Copies of this chain bind each other. A is one copy, B any other.
C-alpha cells in the first residue's frame, strides 16, 4: 500500500459506494423523494469534502467505519446545498455534473424536499457513530454551524443578494468563506475529531487549512468558469457572467486570479507541513486539485 501512488479515484469510488449502500437501506425506495435523493447523490461528484475527511482521519491513524459515515454525512450535506443552489429562485442552473439538475429531472417541489431531507439525513447518520457521545455532539455542532446562519446558508444568501453588483475583494472572500469554506473546514475538523483527543493540539492548523483550501477551491472554480468548456465542467461554462456575479477573475483579472490561486495552493502545502503523520496523500490531493478541469 505504501508504494502505491495515492489515487483520488479510489476514495471517491469508496464514498460513492458507501453512499449508495446507505441510501439503498432507506425505507420507501419506490418514492419519488428517495429516487430524487439518490439521483443527485449518486451522479458522480468529486467528493472532495468526503476525501478530506478520510485523509485527515488517516493523519491520526483512524480508518474505522465511523470515518466512512462522517464522509457520507458531509457529502449528503454538500449534495443538499447543490440541489437547492440550482433551483430557479437561486442560481437557476439546469445542468449539474453533466446531467439535468434535480428540479429539471424531477420538479421543484421534489428538489426542495430532497434537499431538506438530505440535510436531516446528514445529521441522522452522525447519530449512528460508535465514538464517545460527546465527540458525536461536537461533530453535529460543527456541522450545523457550518451550514446555517453562520455558514453555507448565509454565504449563499449574500451571494445571491450581491448578484449584478460589484463588490470588493474582502466581501467576495467573506462570501466564499461562508459558502464554500465553512463546509470544507468542518469536513477537515470532523475528520480530526473522530480521532478523539489526538487531534486537539492541531485544531488551529486544521481550521486554517480548511479556510485556505476552501478559498483555493473557490478561486479555482471561478477561473474554471472562464477557462474550461461546458463539457469539461459538466455545467454551463460562463454561468457567473450570465447573471453578473463578482468573481476573483472579474475583480482581479484572470491572470492575477491565477496567481492568487497559486499562492493559496502554496499556502495549503505550507500548512499541511505543520500537521502530524504521513502527509503524502494530502500533498498529492492539493496537486490533483490544482490540475482539475471541473
Which of chain A's residues 108-167 have a Cβ closer than 8 Å to chain B? 108-110, 112-121, 123-124, 126-128, 132-134, 136-138, 140-141, 144-145, 147-151, 153-154, 156-158, 160-161
* Contact stretch, chosen from A29-37, A215-223, A247-255, A270-278: A29-37
Whether B112 lies near A90 (C-beta < 8 A) is yes
Interface size class of chain A, counting residues whose CB lies under 8 Å from the partner chain: 35 or more
Cα–Cα distance between A27 and B37 once the two chains are bound (Å) = 32
Whether A33 lies near B112 (C-beta < 8 A) is no
B contact residues around A119 at 8 Å (CB) = 116, 119-120, 148
A10 at interface by CB-CB < 8 Å: no
A185 at interface by CB-CB < 8 Å: no
Cα–Cα distance between A120 and B186 once the two chains are bound (Å) = 14
The chain B residue with its CB closest to the CB of A127 is B141
A1 at interface by CB-CB < 8 Å: no
Whether B121 lies near A144 (C-beta < 8 A) is yes
Q: Of B28, B84, B124, which contacts A116 at CB under 8 A? A: B84
A87 at interface by CB-CB < 8 Å: yes
The chain B residue with its CB closest to the CB of A33 is B157
Q: Of B109, B118, B147, B151, which contacts A160 at CB under 8 A? A: B109
Q: How far is the CB of A120 from chain B (nearest CB, A)?
A: 3
Which of chain A's residues 17-33 have a Cβ closer than 8 Å to chain B? 26-28, 31-33
B contact residues around A140 at 8 Å (CB) = 123-124, 126-127, 140
Q: Residue among A90, A108, A115, A116 with the most chain B CB within 10 A?
A: A116
Q: Of B31, B124, B150, which contacts A145 at CB under 8 A? A: B124
Whether B115 lies near A31 (C-beta < 8 A) is no
Cα–Cα distance between A128 and B141 once the two chains are bound (Å) = 8
Cα–Cα distance between A210 and B39 once the two chains are bound (Å) = 33
The chain B residue with its CB closest to the CB of A36 is B157
A43 at interface by CB-CB < 8 Å: no
A107 at interface by CB-CB < 8 Å: yes
Whether B112 lies near A37 (C-beta < 8 A) is no
Interface residues of A (CB under 8 A from B): 26-28, 31-34, 37, 80, 84, 87, 89-90, 107-110, 112-121, 123-124, 126-128, 132-134, 136-138, 140-141, 144-145, 147-151, 153-154, 156-158, 160-161
Given A31-B149, A117-B149, A119-B120, 8 more pairs with CB closer than 8 A: A26-B150, A84-B112, A87-B112, A113-B156, A120-B145, A124-B141, A126-B140, A140-B140
